[in-house]
Amino acid sequence: MIAPCVRCSHGATSLLTYDHAGAEVYLDDARGDEESYEGMRLCSVHAGRFTPPQGWSLIDRRRMPPAFFVGEG
């Protein structure tokens, strides 16, 4: 079972974690076992919209780039 996004009811595709000391935010691919990990589960839409706090770096470690335009063109 795919865990839901913390912002909506869609399935999570990414896991968002923070490194407070390094002022970095990480986006990783969801593995499906995130219940045992700290972090926020996000769907592709919410992961694509995420912006880090001012002065922080966003490091996108997902294997596949986010799909911005899905469906009919």
Residue 38 is predicted with a pLDDT of 77
pLDDT of 3 reads 83
Residue 9 pLDDT level (bands cut at 50, 70, 90): confident
Summarize pLDDT for 25-52 with one digit per residue, the tens: 999 998 766 565 678 999 999 999 999 9
Contacts of 24 (CB under 8 A, 6+ apart): 18, 56, 57, 58, 59
Pairing of strands 14-19, 40-42: antiparallel
What's this model's pTM, rounded to 2 decimal places? 0.76
What's the confidence (pLDDT) of residue 69? 54
